[in-house]
């Protein structure tokens, strides 16, 4: 029998679709290895009636997967990078990053709406990052929390008191429903979450992961390093309305960031460029520069 690699994933349709994208890439490069997908429901998937920051943060989406990896029940885990906590277990390193899918946020209206005179409905989002930025684009709107995977939120949009809801374009693309988007926001209008659109592969320290060499996009690595460094420098969490997005071109990296002041109720944005090899330092320096503006 050949080698078998078991990949852990959340059990939502999007998580499965994302995992299969990477597993299929690895299968093509490693035809002698059998890849199996092992799905599981995380605590974050089970508790949908409260905000993440009230019940433990993004770690609730990875706790069960981390345990399965440490226990040897799976050999790798595939995550949406934006769902990973900033600090990961040293025994469970990130071993690969996918090419980035469309990083932008989108809004889906419940029905065709003419927003030319100002949209003043109820927008569903549990992300403060999204809400503080959208408040400028939709000054007459109200915001209401909405939790769950993409399909769950789409059902809630139709069945409950929402007029619109916000999603990541990458998720809609991977589910084949990109045409559902009513409006796509530029990364200047709504700066994405750190890591949005990037898939990360996590493994166990010391194991052989040569089969995952094909999942090592250097541009995604540098962008993710800068973005996560920015959030970390601001002590950001899922409750913090902070955002960062980096683009890499040749040896240069440019990062945009958003810092929100709880004291003033305002936010400031800015950008910084530099050599991609200094990605971590550049992200941190931008964060501290924005923080000094308050």
Write down the pLDDT at residue 115. Answer: 55
Please state the CATH superfamily assignment of the domain spanning residues 217-294 in this structure: Porphobilinogen deaminase, C-terminal domain (3.30.160.40)
Is 49 known to be catalytic? no
Dihedral angle sign, alpha carbons of residues 163, 194, 55, 89: positive
Alpha-carbon separation of residue 249 from 193, 212, 221, 222 (angstroms): 20, 24, 13, 11
Look at residue 63 in the predicted model and tell me its pLDDT.
Answer: 82
Listed in sequence order, the residues at least 6 apart from 72 whose beta carbon sits closer than 8 Å to its beta carbon are: none
Q: What is the CA radius of gyration of the chain?
A: 19
User: Could you give the residue ranges of the DSSP H alpha helices within 30-126?
Assistant: 43-46, 52-55, 63-71
Beta-sheet pairing, 266-275 with 252-261? antiparallel
Query: How many whole angstroms separate alpha carbon 128 and alpha carbon 73?
Result: 35
End-to-end alpha-carbon separation of the chain, Å? 62
Residue 42: per-residue pLDDT: 67
Q: How far apart are CA 77 and CA 14, in angstroms?
A: 15
Could you tell me which residues come within 8 angstroms of residue 28 by beta carbon, excluding any fewer than 6 positions away?
214
Where are the CATH 3.40.190.10 domain residues in the chain?
1-98+198-214, 105-184
Looking at 3.40.190.10, 3.90.220.20, 3.40.1280.10, 3.30.230.10, the CATH number of the domain 105-184 comes to 3.40.190.10
pLDDT at residue number 113? 58
Residue from 83, 102, 105, 163 carrying the catalytic annotation: 83
Residue 192 DSSP label: P
CA distance 29 to 115: 48
The pLDDT of residue 281 is 98
> Up-side HSE of residue 294: CA atoms within 13 Å toward CB?
17
| pLDDT at site 159 | 86
Is there a contact between 228 and 243 (Cβ–Cβ < 8 Å)? no
The confidence score (pLDDT) of residue 264 equals 86
- Homologous superfamily (CATH) of 1-98+198-214 is Periplasmic binding protein-like II (3.40.190.10)
pLDDT per residue of the chain (294 residues) written in tens, 0 to 9? 579 999 999 999 999 999 999 999 999 999 999 999 999 976 555 444 545 454 444 555 588 899 999 999 999 999 999 989 898 889 999 999 999 999 999 999 987 555 555 678 999 999 999 999 999 999 989 999 998 899 999 999 988 889 999 999 999 999 999 999 999 999 999 999 999 999 999 999 999 999 999 999 999 999 999 999 999 999 764 466 899 999 999 999 999 999 998 888 899 999 999 999 999 999 999 999 999 887
Distance CA 98, CA 200 (A): 6
Residue span(s) of the chain under CATH 3.30.160.40 come to: 217-294
Is 123 within 8 Å of 166 (Cβ atoms)?
Answer: yes
Beta bridge partners of 247: 254
């Amino acid at each position: 029998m050949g080698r078998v690699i078991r990949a852990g994933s959340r059990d939502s349709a999007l998580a499965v679709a994302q995992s299969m994208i990477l597993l299929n890439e690895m299968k093509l490069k490693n035809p002698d290895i059998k890849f199996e997908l092992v799905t599981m429901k995380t605590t974050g998937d089970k508790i949908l009636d409260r905000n993440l920051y009230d019940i433990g943060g993004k770690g609730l989406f990875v706790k069960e997967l981390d345990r399965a990896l440490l226990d040897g029940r799976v050999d790798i885990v595939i995550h949406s990078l934006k769902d990973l906590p900033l600090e990961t277990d040293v025994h469970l390193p990130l071993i690969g990053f996918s090419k980035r899918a469309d990083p932008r946020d989108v809004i889906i209206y419940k029905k065709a709406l003419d927003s030319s005179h100002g949209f003043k409905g109820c927008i569903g989002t549990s992300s403060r990052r999204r809400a503080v930025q959208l408040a400028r684009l939709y000054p007459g709107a109200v915001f209401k929390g909405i939790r769950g995977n993409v399909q769950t939120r789409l059902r809630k949009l139709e069945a409950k008191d929402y007029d619109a809801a916000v999603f990541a374009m990458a998720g809609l693309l991977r589910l084949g429903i990109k045409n559902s988007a009513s409006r796509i926001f530029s990364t200047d209008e709504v700066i994405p979450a750190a890591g949005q659109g990037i898939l990360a592969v996590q493994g166990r320290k010391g194991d052989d992961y040569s089969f995952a060499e094909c999942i090592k996009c250097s541009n995604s690595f540098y962008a993710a390093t800068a973005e996560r460094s920015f959030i970390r420098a601001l002590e950001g969490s899922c409750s913090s309305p902070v955002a960062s997005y980096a683009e890499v071109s040749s040896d240069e990296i440019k990062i945009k960031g958003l810092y929100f002041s709880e004291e003033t109720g305002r936010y400031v944005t800015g950008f910084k460029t530099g050599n991609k090899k200094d990605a971590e330092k550049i992200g941190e320096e931008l964060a501290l520069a924005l923080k000094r503006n308050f």
